[in-house]
Structure 1
């Protein structure tokens, strides 16, 4: 079984701050070492992240994340056991949240467990259509979504993120 954990937190810095790039670079490396896959979403002031992998690896990684001083108000929104990964092939995907997506997620998190499942589904759809972390994977719709997200605020340069992804290599399989 694979453990999936979804959490949110408040960033101590605005989106586009150099610490965002540091977080992504560290996550790519550490997740690969631990056999963890996942996806990090960023709006102007907060993070939403899904981690998935072996139970002990997810627990270790999340304990490190919870102690990270670059964010606070860390809240586990969902933890569950599943038979397969939702983000297979992503040592760490990344996307900026649009204001509409951020509002949707905030509302769903307030709705309790049923809302969190809807939020998890939305994270998966954002990953499928709006990722910047995997080079060469993007439809015309995904490119439009990327342009829209870029217009909404500062974000990582796609070339920088792609370079980190290539260096990190593929995640370990469970």
Structure 2
């Protein structure tokens, strides 16, 4: 058998001498600082250029979070099946996303799952409560949250530190 002249899995050529640790850390810090400055300048900018389009930054409304309001909603009977004592505060599905919830005032009471019974809340979140898919559930959520807000307001249960919903103020 002929001898191989080169080894396919042979040693790599020797690498350049390692830099001084302090020098590497200084270079890393300089890169991080440059990146932070670039990011900060983007945040402070009033307009954003994307390709050939320029748009102005629009501040987003922060959704209201109120433990008191959520507790009032959860104390009501299920807005869909009417069972009392098993309700949870359920947000509308429009505008939700991964780890994103809409304003707490855009909600309704829906019952939770119980042994042997799938709750309305779970079916609503999975678009299986009514036929018609996502859009039907968005419409249903709007109607139920509107009815829930009116129910809370009419019963005098609206928490004092929670502003009324802008459409109903």
What TM-score results when the alignment is normalised by the length of structure 1?
Answer: 0.26
| Bigger share in strand | 1
* Higher RCO, 1 vs 2 (CA within 8 Å, ≥6 residues apart): 1
What TM-score results when the alignment is normalised by the length of structure 2?
Answer: 0.26
| Bigger share in helix | 1
